[in-house]
């Protein structure tokens, strides 16, 4: 480690943080905040850091190791883990990555916040809190509206399928079988539309 990194890592205090002054906390949905709290209560950043690198004690309440950022080729230890504050910071020149245990996972894994929550809850067998009763009541009230919108979407897909796939085929059939085939095709188009819509939902392109 160069002299600048040594002096900075030893003398600089840990980055200040409280939920009240975190600029991103208000952007996190309320149910997710409970999951974040559950993760932070159950696992220490020092344990997670050891999953990704080697960190050794460096004074009271501090661990020092190479930066775990994939974008930082850290040849000498420049990342400090603050065990009391449960924060980390890289003092390497041009890096400066910092944050909490979830930020650490996001940094290494290149994932979103909700993915980091799931990853840590699975890795450390952390039971996440369920959604509040008010959320379930809201979902129940909105169910008829969601079902109606879903049905409209399926019907729209059905109409497109029928026009683009079935109509050209029906026009080539003899007149004596066309009417019966049209009824069957209209029924099949509903089944196909339902399958396509379900696949779209499974791929995460629609969220409620």
The pLDDT, as a whole number, for residue 20 is 42
The pLDDT, as a whole number, for residue 197 is 85
The pLDDT, as a whole number, for residue 98 is 96
DSSP string, 85-134: TTEEEE-STT---EE-HHHHHHHHH---HHHHHHHHHHHTTPPPPPPPHH
The pLDDT, as a whole number, for residue 13 is 52
* Segment among 117-121, 135-139, 154-158 with least mean pLDDT: 135-139
| Percentage of residues of the chain with pLDDT beyond 70 | 82
Q: 151-196 pLDDT, tens per residue? A: 998 999 999 999 998 999 999 999 888 888 999 999 999 999 988 8
Contact of 26 with 20, CB cutoff 8 Å: no
The pLDDT, as a whole number, for residue 65 is 96
The pLDDT, as a whole number, for residue 1 is 41
Domains of the chain: 3-123 (3.90.580.10), 133-202 (no CATH)
3-state DSSP percent of the chain in helix, strand and coil, to 5: 60, 10, 35
């Amino acid at each position: 480690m160069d002299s600048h990194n040594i002096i900075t890592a030893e003398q600089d205090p840990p980055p200040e943080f409280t939920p009240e002054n975190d600029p991103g906390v208000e952007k996190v949905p309320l149910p997710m905040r409970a999951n974040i709290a559950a993760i932070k209560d159950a696992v220490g950043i020092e344990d997670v850091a050891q999953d990704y690198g080697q960190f050794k004690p460096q004074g009271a309440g501090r661990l020092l190791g190479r930066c775990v950022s994939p974008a930082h080729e850290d040849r000498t230890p420049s990342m400090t883990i603050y065990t009391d504050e449960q924060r980390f910071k890289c003092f390497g020149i041009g890096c400066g990555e910092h944050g909490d245990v979830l930020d650490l996972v996001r940094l290494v894994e290149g994932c979103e916040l909700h993915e980091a929550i799931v990853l840590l809850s699975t890795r450390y067998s952390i039971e996440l809190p369920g959604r509040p009763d008010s959320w379930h009541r809201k979902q129940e009230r909105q169910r008829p509206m969601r079902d109606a919108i879903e049905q409209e979407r399926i019907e729209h897909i059905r109409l497109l399928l029928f026009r683009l796939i079935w109509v050209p085929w029906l026009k080539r059939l003899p007149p004596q079988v066309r009417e019966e085939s049209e009824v069957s095709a209209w029924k099949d188009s509903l089944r196909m539309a339902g399958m396509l819509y379900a696949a779209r939902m499974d791929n995460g392109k629609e969220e409620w």
